[in-house]
Amino acid sequence: MSSSPRVSPTSTPAAPATPAAVTPMGWMHTARFLTTAAQLHHLPEMDTPEIAFVGRSNAGKSTCINTLTQKKQLAFASKKPGRTQHINLFALGKQGITDTVLADLPGYGYAAVAKMDKLRWQQVMANYLVSRENLTGIVMMCDPRHGLTELDDILLEVIRPRVEEGLKFLIILTKADKLTRAEQAKALSIARLQAGGGEVKLFSALKKQGVDEVAKLLWDWTHPATGMAPAPAPTAPPEEEPEALDE
């Protein structure tokens, strides 16, 4: 367990630092809770692209999702009693037009979870990652001070065939503010070797490092046709309810 104070993203949208991130950040801010499921067959079948967030417990996954979506509590809903071992789905896109789903998978490796529950959950996660048809990409959170753990490696092996077939993959090195520049560079190069063709990005919720970049990457994954479209010029920081998004 970390002794550091909880990092709280603001509930209002952050002003993107780069024009290219205006649309992705506005899109991220449309995130809303969709549903929660304890078992795979309880998940709704969807034909929209889905991006799964996975990571060891305490890696910074909830904080990262909350920071990307600029919603204080969104992913902490996944930490409410009774929901910690659920797959929680969040919808992205203009109200009524979900164009992407974010899937927050339970953090693994938490010591206090009974062994049987751990094994059951590893199985549910593996089945989800291997069989979810609309899965477009996987984002793995990793605390670079600990590096990839044994459970991360197992998960990497599970998804490797799908990544080789074209599934998008990103490793986010969280809590980058805790590393010096030299340590960040070293962590990046190690993770790049392990990512097997996937991307690696440094991220700090505290310093808002990497937020725009990750939002833009996820936008590009799920909007390939518009990925190169110029973003609207930033006139003012987006309001609480962002402007209509480009199709």
Residues at the interface with ligand GDP (CB under 6 A): 2, 4, 6-7, 55, 57-63, 107, 141, 174-175, 177-178, 204-206
What 3-state DSSP class applies to 233? coil
Per-residue b/e over 96-120, b at no fewer than 16 CB within 10 Å?
A: eebbbbbbbbbbbbbeebeeeebee
Check: CB of residue 103 under 8 Å from CB of residue 88.
yes
Least separation in angstroms between residue 2's CB and ligand GDP is 4
Least separation in angstroms between residue 66's CB and ligand GDP is 8
Cβ distance to ligand GDP smaller for residue 29 or 175: 175
CA distances from 39 to 58, 140, 166 (A): 23, 21, 26
If 0-12 CB within 10 Å is exposed, 13-18 middle and 19+ buried, where does residue 182 land?
Answer: exposed
Cβ distance to ligand GDP smaller for residue 57 or 194: 57
Least separation in angstroms between residue 209's CB and ligand GDP is 8
CB within 8 A of 146, min separation 6: which ones? 56
Least separation in angstroms between residue 147's CB and ligand GDP is 15
Least separation in angstroms between residue 200's CB and ligand GDP is 16
Least separation in angstroms between residue 69's CB and ligand GDP is 13
What 3-state DSSP class applies to 136? strand
User: The tokens 């199709």 sit on which residue?
Assistant: 247
Cβ distance to ligand GDP smaller for residue 5 or 44: 5
Least separation in angstroms between residue 44's CB and ligand GDP is 24
Quick one: CA dihedral 213, 214, 220, 223, positive or negative?
negative
Cβ distance to ligand GDP smaller for residue 100 or 204: 204
Cβ distance to ligand GDP smaller for residue 156 or 245: 156
User: The tokens 């984002």 sit on which residue?
Assistant: 139
CB within 8 A of 44, min separation 6: which ones? 35, 89
d(CA 92, CA 94): 7
Instruction: Give strand pairing partners of 131.
Output: none
Cβ distance to ligand GDP smaller for residue 76 or 162: 76
Cβ distance to ligand GDP smaller for residue 79 or 162: 79
